[in-house]
């Protein structure tokens, strides 16, 4: 699984093309899809969630083990998978953000890529700075009580 860390701000051209940071592209090397998958942030923030196709494939496999007749699973699947855009890398490592994604995150001239471990987000830089400041303040309080679930079976971490 790809690992995304750091914060990089890149220029967005007038066509909506933006260079995906080189370390992010390197983390995606060897996957079945040569690009990123992106969708409006699932938590409702004005950001774009991004990941490799492997993350989406693993999520789909987890849904496949759920009750196929449970409406809440169908609703979540529809909310996520119907909003995913597969964005191919061009020869220079850029992707073309769709108008839907640009509008959702209100991205104009620059896009901030922020690593979140197995995923990343793309933000309008000014909005990210506010959200990041809020997250840092809250994290100080939450870290002491954070209880991570156990690693999946077979995971050697």
Angle (CA) 30 32 36, round 5°: 85
Residue 58: the pLDDT is 92
pLDDT in tens, 25-49: 999 999 999 999 999 998 889 999 9
Q: Find out whether 46 and 146 touch, Cβ atoms under 8 Å.
A: no
- Report CA torsion sign: 34, 39, 43, 46: positive
The whole-model pTM stands at 0.86
pLDDT in tens, 91-103: 999 999 999 999 9
CA 106, chain centre distance (Å):
16
Beta strands per DSSP E along 108-151? 110-115, 120-123
Between 139 and 37, the more confident residue is 37
Does pLDDT of 83 surpass 60? yes
Pick the CATH number of 7-145 from 3.40.50.10300, 3.40.50.300, 3.40.1550.20, 3.30.1330.100: 3.40.1550.20
User: With left for phi above 0 and alpha for psi between -120 and 50, is residue 30 left, alpha or beta?
Assistant: left
CA atoms within 13 A on the CB side of 144: 4
Question: Domain extents for the chain?
Answer: 7-145
């Amino acid at each position: 699984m790809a690992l995304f860390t750091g914060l990089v701000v890149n220029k967005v051209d007038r066509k909506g093309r933006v260079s995906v940071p080189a370390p992010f592209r390197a983390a995606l090397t060897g996957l079945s899809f040569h690009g990123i998958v992106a969708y409006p942030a699932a938590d409702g923030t004005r950001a774009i969630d991004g990941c490799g196709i492997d993350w989406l494939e693993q999520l789909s496999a987890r849904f496949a083990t759920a009750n196929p007749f449970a409406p809440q699973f169908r609703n979540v699947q529809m909310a996520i998978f119907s909003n995913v855009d597969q964005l191919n890398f061009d020869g220079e490592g850029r992707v073309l953000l769709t108008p839907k994604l640009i509008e959702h995150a209100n991205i104009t001239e620059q896009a901030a890529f922020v690593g979140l471990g197995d995923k990343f987000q793309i933000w309008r830089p000014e909005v990210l700075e506010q959200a990041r400041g809020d997250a840092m303040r809250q994290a100080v309080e939450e870290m002491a009580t954070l209880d991570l679930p156990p690693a999946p079976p077979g995971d050697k971490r």
